[in-house]
Amino acid sequence: MIIPNSYIALILTFHVLLYAFPWLEFKIHQENINQSDSLVFVRNSDGVPETMSFDELLTALKGEKQHWDSGKNVKIALMKTSTVTGKLVTEHIYNMSTNQFQKYWLTKVFQGYGVSPKFFTSVEELKNYIKSTPGTISILKSDECDGLDRIEVISNPN
């Protein structure tokens, strides 16, 4: 059987993407998601404001804000989309499917408009990263954020 060049190029592109973006996951674990799980915005206290509007948070979480007012770089750390928390964040904060979320970040990074979030499979690893990396923001379920500084979300000014 002869494989057309277009299929070989597609396979090579797929492997390059997996190598360049190891956080990409093409299989979603089937886990029950409790819709009542509340999500909390958390931060590293060095450089990240204590209070922000939801619009300000979303601007930062979408990679549209590069620096905090303190001068620190905005760093986004999230659970992988294959985790329950990652799936909740993708659907309820970003309002995207897992595929849309992955395409969003691939496009943003390839076009040079942003830096991809750092993704984690372990809540403890994510919490350690947040605590040790100035300028970091994240979103966790309320029962996962013990020991982290929360961001108070204020109403958007009219």
CB neighbours of residue 91 within 10 Å: 16
CB neighbours of residue 53 within 10 Å: 13
Would you say residue 4 has pLDDT above 60? Answer: no
Least confident of 26-30, 75-79, 132-136, 145-149: 26-30
Q: Which pTM was predicted? A: 0.75
The one-letter code for the residue type at 64 is E
Confidence of residue 88 (pLDDT cuts 50, 70, 90): very high
**What domains sit in the chain, N to C, each tagged with a CATH number?**
5-154 (3.40.190.10)
Two structure tokens written together for 80 = 């992988």
Residue-wise burial string across 5-32, b where 16 or more C-beta atoms lie within 10 A, e elsewhere:
eeeeeeeeeeeeeeeebebbbeeeeeee
Distance CA 34, CA 37 (A): 6
Averaged pLDDT for residues 59-66:
94
For residues 7, 26, 24, 130, the Cα torsion angle rounded to the nearest 10 degrees is 180
Specify the pLDDT at position 114: 84
Averaged pLDDT for residues 36-45:
86
Distance CA 124, CA 50 (A): 22
